[in-house]
Amino acid sequence: MTCPAEHMSEALSLARKGLLTTRPNPMVGCVITHNEKIIGRGWHEKSGDNHAEINAIHDVFRNLGSNAESALENSEMYVTLEPCSTTGKTPPCSEAIKKYGIKKVFIASEDNSQDGFANKTDGIEIEVGLLREDARRLNRGFFSRIEKNRPFITAKMGVGLDAGIALSSGESKWITSKESRKDVHKMRAENDAILTGIGTIVADNPSLTSRDSGYDEDKVMQPLRIVIDRNNKLTGNESIFQVEGNNLIFSSNQNIDSHNTNFYPNPSNKEINLKEIVQYLAKEKSINNLMIESGSGMFDALLDEQLIDEIILYQAPKLLGKDRKSFSNLDVTNEKLSTIDFQIIETTNLGEDKKIILRPNYK
Ligand SMILES: NC(=O)c1ccc[n+]([C@@H]2O[C@H](COP(=O)([O-])OP(=O)(O)OC[C@H]3O[C@@H](n4cnc5c(N)ncnc54)[C@H](OP(=O)(O)O)[C@@H]3O)[C@@H](O)[C@H]2O)c1
């Protein structure tokens, strides 16, 4: 006999199929059972398309034909996120759930952006919280945007054994292994946007596109590239202006002539404030997941504002020498440093490198 947690686990696997395509919507999966046997499966593919619940109901019709309606009347639904109960780009799922007489709905996680599925569904039994933590982790960017009004922010750094991120000359491209670089391209594909510092643009002139990530290239949406340029150092000739994907520039110099670039409206460079920028990215650009690919300047500024949620270090067995650039040069007293602890969440091997996932605990 299959237990409810197994059905929800399958719904979570279905939700993950939307990893590259649902943004800015959350990934959602749904399984419908009758007498504990699965009769329909669905997932949300992209904004504007059917929600997972509706796709699962359609799947029941495909599987059972003329018996679908009677099976649905006695069915149970397992859905990874609270069903919508208002009209958005599609009609409310609560109406379809009511219409087909689904008897019980298991919901992994609540959705505060909705106005209460339970209030709209008289007579339907509802159980909330099955595999809630897994469901929240899956959509951590979406939950951060709607609950904290900013994206989930992950900083990536390629470091040597001595925590160097570049030679004194600024060169950094050769530090990590082929496997780590591929993982970074995967990470770029999974994030809605990448924020970098002007120091990195000047030193490396990166394109910040996702290439050779291992994902189906047709599904990869290039992340929005974001550059903060307080001292108007961008010229318009940098790689980001020549490659696929779009840029958003925070600068008072809005004269760069580029087909793929938008500017933050009317900034004075003095007003560029990191907290406001990340809130703007959530509110106006619907960015759920933001990746940071910068040197220590931007990394430290974000850490100091407690804006980094996760750090991914790719540590290579190399030394970068005594004049290396370090990944952090936080200019603080011991007292201040003691306000941030880092917890190692996961360590794996990637080629010759170690991939270390850390979470800052801000006090
Ligand atoms: N190994 C790796 O993973 C990796 C990744 C990226 C970069 N790097 C290396 O890092 C080095 C560059 O380091 P970096 O520290 O100069 O680069 P960065 O972090 O990309 O940019 C630093 C610049 O950001 C600006 N900035 C600082 N605080 C800010 C704030 N609160 N708001 C807005 N802007 C702010 C400052 O420029 P302004 O004062 O002009 O505004 C500062 O010089 C390069 O050698 C590069 O190769 C290594």
pLDDT at 183: 97
Would you say residue 116 has pLDDT above 80?
A: no
- Which is the catalytic residue, given 6, 10, 45, 53? 53
**What would the mean pLDDT of 336-342 be, rounded to a whole number?**
82
**What would the mean pLDDT of 336-362 be, rounded to a whole number?**
93
Residue 172 Cβ < 6 Å to ligand 1: yes
**What would the mean pLDDT of 246-252 be, rounded to a whole number?**
93
The rounded distance, in Å, linking the Cα atoms of 272 and 255 is: 18
pLDDT at 257: 87
Closest C-alpha to ligand 1, atom 42: 297
Distance from residue 190's CA to the centre of ligand 1 (Å): 23
**What would the mean pLDDT of 17-31 be, rounded to a whole number?**
96
pLDDT at 34: 96
Residue 272 Cβ < 6 Å to ligand 1: yes
pLDDT at 44: 97
> Kind of pairing, strands 261-263 and 310-315?
unpaired
Q: Quick one: tokens of 132?
A: 């809630």
Percentage above 70 pLDDT, the chain: 97
The rounded distance, in Å, linking the Cα atoms of 37 and 69 is: 16
Residue 242 Cβ < 6 Å to ligand 1: no
- DSSP states of 299-363: HHHHHHTT---EEEEEE-S----TTPEES------HHHHTTEEEEEEEEEEETTEEEEEEEEEE-
Enclosing H/E stretch for 247: strand 247-250
**What would the mean pLDDT of 236-241 be, rounded to a whole number?**
96
pLDDT at 169: 83
Beta bridge partners of 30: 42, 79
The rounded distance, in Å, linking the Cα atoms of 282 and 195 is: 13
pLDDT at 267: 61
**What would the mean pLDDT of 237-251 be, rounded to a whole number?**
95
Q: Is the pTM of this model over 0.85?
A: yes
Annotation says 53 is catalytic: yes
**What would the mean pLDDT of 255-273 be, rounded to a whole number?**
80
Mutating to test ligand 1, I would choose from 157, 159, 172, 275 the residue with most ligand atoms within 8 A of its C-beta, which is: 172
| Mean pLDDT over each residue of the chain, to the nearest integer | 92
Q: What is the pLDDT of residues 200-218, one digit of tens each?
A: 999 999 999 999 999 999 9
> Among 44-58, 195-209, 329-343, where is mean pLDDT lowest?
329-343
**What would the mean pLDDT of 317-330 be, rounded to a whole number?**
91
Would you say residue 272 has pLDDT above 80?
A: no
Mutating to test ligand 1, I would choose from 154, 165, 304, 320 the residue with most ligand atoms within 8 A of its C-beta, which is: 165
Would you say residue 123 has pLDDT above 90?
A: no
Distance from residue 105's CA to the centre of ligand 1 (Å): 49
Percentage above 90 pLDDT, the chain: 79
Residue 297 Cβ < 6 Å to ligand 1: yes
pLDDT at 339: 80
**What would the mean pLDDT of 151-159 be, rounded to a whole number?**
97
Residue 200 Cβ < 6 Å to ligand 1: yes
Would you say residue 335 has pLDDT above 80?
A: no
